[in-house]
Chains A and B, each alone.
Chain A
Amino acid sequence: MNTTLAILAQNSAGAPDGATALINTALFYVFAAMAVGSAIGVMVSRNIVRTAVCLLMALLGVAGLYLGMHAEFLAAVQLVVYAGGTLVLIIFGVMLTNNSTFQLYRPKRLEVVVGSGLVAMLATVLITAILRSGMADRVVTSGNTYAIQTLGEALLGDYLVPFELISVLLLAVMIGAAYLAKGRRREGEGQ
């Protein structure tokens, strides 16, 4: 019991610690490898459900990266909205729209060559730009572990208008999606 308090006091002192930095770095590389590897899997995989599983792994990796940046709430949002909601919706769509279970759509060879070339070019440009900009020196952190109160205050304070706009957008999306789905059924009945 008292040890917990001692640990808390030690943590809130925020002393830079060699071991802390080392472990943070190691965790970063683990999750970065997970995110990047799965992202490559998304690009390469031909089976659409495997693509979705790769995306799930990439999302979990990104959630880990968020944790590394002290964005705990955001990581949880990532899990609950992306992994638990959006991706399930997408897989649901896959199940509704596939004729056979393991149907593949193969791109043409020219498309593959041109596409990979473009992607390689883009990657080169982006990474060179990042390495050339002086941002390597920016190691300042706004390390804020217990940020959920700040986040809530900001959402209902400075960002109230975007927050409300988003709710209107979600309502519009709900109606729109329902309309599209319903129109489909009516068409089916007419035939």
Chain B
Amino acid sequence: MVGLPHYLIVAAIMMCCGVGTILLKRNAIGILLGVELILNAANVNLVAFNRYNANASGNLDGQIFAIFVIVLAAAEAAVALAIFLNFYNNFSTVDVERGDNLKG
């Protein structure tokens, strides 16, 4: 029987992978992909908590939160990509290690 912990563990592993992606990738767009993974893990949690909620039958707060998160992720991706394009324009690479102009 699938219970709440099953979904939470899947989400936890996905979130760890997202964090790992952010830590291990040097490509700026790869980091963006890691962020998307974390947001997805959070969404799975939200929907799971919504479904396994004792007193809220027919209450869809978690799903609505998840929809908002998806919209925010799309917005975030758009802005981040615009920033990366500018970055690429200035440094001819999207390697985040190269963006160190402000370093003394």
Contact = CB atoms under 8 A, between A and B. Distances in A.
B11 to A, nearest CB: 9
Interface of B: 1-10, 12-21, 23-30, 32-34, 36-37, 40, 43-44, 47-48, 50-54, 56-61, 63-64, 66-68, 70-75, 77-79, 81-86, 88-89, 92-95
Contacts of A180: 79, 82-83, 85-86
A151 B60 contact: yes
Contacts, number: 242
A52 B103 CA distance: 31
B98 to A, nearest CB: 10
Contacts of B2: 24-25, 28, 68
Contacts of B94: 97-98, 105
B54 A131 contact: no
B19 A122 contact: yes
Interface of A: 21, 24-25, 28, 32, 35-36, 39-40, 42-43, 48, 51-52, 55, 58-59, 62, 65-66, 68-71, 73-74, 77-78, 81-82, 85-87, 89-90, 92-94, 96-99, 105-107, 111-112, 114-116, 118-119, 122-123, 126-127, 130-131, 135-136, 138-144, 147, 150-151, 154-155, 159, 162, 166, 169-170, 173-174, 176-177, 180-181, 183-184, 187-188
